[in-house]
Amino acid sequence: MKKYIYSILLGTALLTGSCSDFTEVQPKGKNLLSTTDQLEMLLNAEISISTSDWNVCCGDMIRAFENIPTLINRPNKTRSAILISWDETNQDKMAELTSSDSDYSECYGIIGQISNAILSHIDAAEGDEATKKKLKCEALVLRAYFHYILVNKFAKAYNPATAAQDPGIPYVTEEWDISQPTEQITVQKVYENILADLNEAIELDALPVISVNRMRISKPCAHAAKALALLSMQEFDLAAEEARKALALNKTVNNYNEMITTLTGNITGGEYPVIYRPILKCEEDLFYVYHIEFFSGLSPEAWNAFEEGHASRDKMSTDYLMYDKTPGIGLGKSYLGLPDYIFTYDISSGWNSCGMKTTHMYLIIAEAEIHNGHYKEAMKALDAIRINRIDPAVYAPLEGTVTTEADAIFHLKQTSHGENIYSYYNFINRKRWNQVEGYKETLTRDIAGQIFTLTPDSPMWIFPFPQNAINSNPNLSQNYKN
């Protein structure tokens, strides 16, 4: 991980002339950036994170280019075979086969190359104080948010009863001496650091309500990130309070039924309305992380979990529409050997796979209201999403129709599924729900007649640290074993 910390992106250096003009190299590999303009250039990096592991593990998708029944039945298990079949008996082998992990390197790269590089030099940089405060706030929120991503993939879900003992991840700050290995801290301490960074950013109050673009941090983002962290900590009322603060600044939910283009089928030439989600132009995106939803095999379990009439299913660009809904023809059969899998095929839209959206805030409010027994208010929050996702021909409001906790949880999960399927949030939500009574659920996956299950307490919910991190840091131990 050392190679990522305090290194300057080559593209940034090229934009500003020679390296000698841009930075003064100091001991321990640090780079001294001398002005706020130079530091701000670090924030213009295009962020892209893979969601493949998350989508496969939570049962929604399979991303592969080979026959899956053959893959999972070979005696020599690959990492993909272990993950797809939820084979926890081979998780040690999965760890051995994880030589590197793009999420691990990308997130810590952002933390080191962007957040900590800014925070280590912002006080001494030339520039006005207002700009310094703004850049500091952005760096703090980015650092908190990408540690939030890391702890959700590589550690146990936050359990208030055990978080103080559960091993987590390293929390890397600008004060870290890169000559020393990072320390693995507890899950509770990770979240304490996340909240500390976010609270500092919120108290500085220097972020704009609307950022220069949706890949930059705004004031609503700080509250949204705090709401997500508090939700994971099961601080439901506090999470809802922060979610409402974010929505007070931006409450827009884009209407997918109106964001439409036309797909023409390849077999009969049929024309089908499909969602066009313009990159960086959706007002509901508080913080956008680049992702094109293409060539993911949607499992039949995920397909059936959608609410009827949901645009993210029925108006998603897929091979099902590309082949004019012709039975027996599709990429699921030809690539995966699974004819009941439907492939996403949207090469135009920008699906916000790893960012923050206003809709996440409505879901947080709904969940908090359910815990308080306020089902009418919870369904009102869900309706704010549903009215912009469900076909008007079949849409009916939920507000005032739900009277039991079980029904309220069902609608929360159904709405959350449709909203988050093309992101990593279905994984995060299902993982944390495994800690909450009434929400726990065993997942099932049918692959050519073989039934696989993922229980709430399975270690498969915790991904192994990659071998390149384990081998270079003696302080890291695999969390799935603890």
List pLDDT tens digits, range 225-266: 999 999 999 999 999 999 999 999 999 999 999 999 999 999
C-alpha 339/C-alpha 364 separation (Å) is 36
Find the radius of gyration of the CA atoms of the chain.
23
C-alpha 360/C-alpha 161 separation (Å) is 26
Among 442, 387, 431, 467, residue whose Cα is nearest residue 156: 431
- Per domain, the residue ranges of the chain are 2-49+100-234
C-alpha 163/C-alpha 274 separation (Å) is 43
27 DSSP assignment: G
pLDDT on residue 46: 85
pLDDT on residue 28: 44
CATH topology (fold) of 2-49+100-234:
1.25.40
Tell me which H or E stretch contains 462. Answer: none
State which residues of the chain have pLDDT below 70. 1-32
C-alpha 410/C-alpha 390 separation (Å) is 17
pLDDT on residue 33: 82
pLDDT on residue 482: 87
List pLDDT tens digits, range 286-321: 999 999 999 999 999 999 999 999 999 999 999 999
Tell me which H or E stretch contains 196. Answer: helix 187-204
Q: Which pTM does this prediction carry?
A: 0.93
pLDDT on residue 231: 98
C-alpha 13/C-alpha 15 separation (Å) is 5
pLDDT on residue 27: 42
C-alpha 402/C-alpha 416 separation (Å) is 17
pLDDT on residue 31: 53
Give the residue carrying structure tokens 């976010």: 198
C-alpha 439/C-alpha 406 separation (Å) is 9
Other CB atoms within a 10 A radius of the CB of residue 256 amount to: 21
